[in-house]
Amino acid sequence: MAGIKALISLSFGGAIGLMFLMLGCALPQYKSQYWPLFVLFFYILSPIPYCIARRLVDETDATSNACKELAIFLTTGIVVSAFGLPIVFARAQLILWGACALVLTGNTVIFATILGFFLVFGSNDDFSWQQW
């Protein structure tokens, strides 16, 4: 039952984050510029390196692994790029700074939701995301 509550709260967090992203794009005072939607690619790309590394790495080894460290490094680069892109758009005057703030808020919520997903469903307990 705890897994269902976690899944519902994570989906609610994802919906709130996407709402902030859409508000930053579609509000009339921000001139309906849809450039910030390019951040969706970063949302899709961010968990991929870590998922690949978890498949390749044996979890019984207690020491640090180079493959896992590389995956965390690539994920960090993707997340930083997702936060940098709206700032670059705002500096280039493609979007307004208010829209940039909404997109950055949405980024924070979405990436916290992705992190929460891996914390809740990442272990190999009874209820795991791997069984889906």
Which pairs count as long-range contacts for 62-70, CB under 8 Å and 24+ apart, including other chains? none
pLDDT at 126: 53
Tell me the pLDDT tens digit for each residue of 51-82.
898 888 766 666 678 888 999 999 999 999 99
Identity of the amino acid at 79: V
Entry pTM:
0.85
The answer to whether 52 and 68 have CB atoms below 8 angstroms apart is: no
Tell me the pLDDT tens digit for each residue of 5-58.
888 999 999 999 999 999 999 988 988 888 999 999 999 999 999 889 888 876
CA 81 to chain centre: 11
Write phi, then psi, for 27 (nearest 5 degrees).
Answer: -65, 140
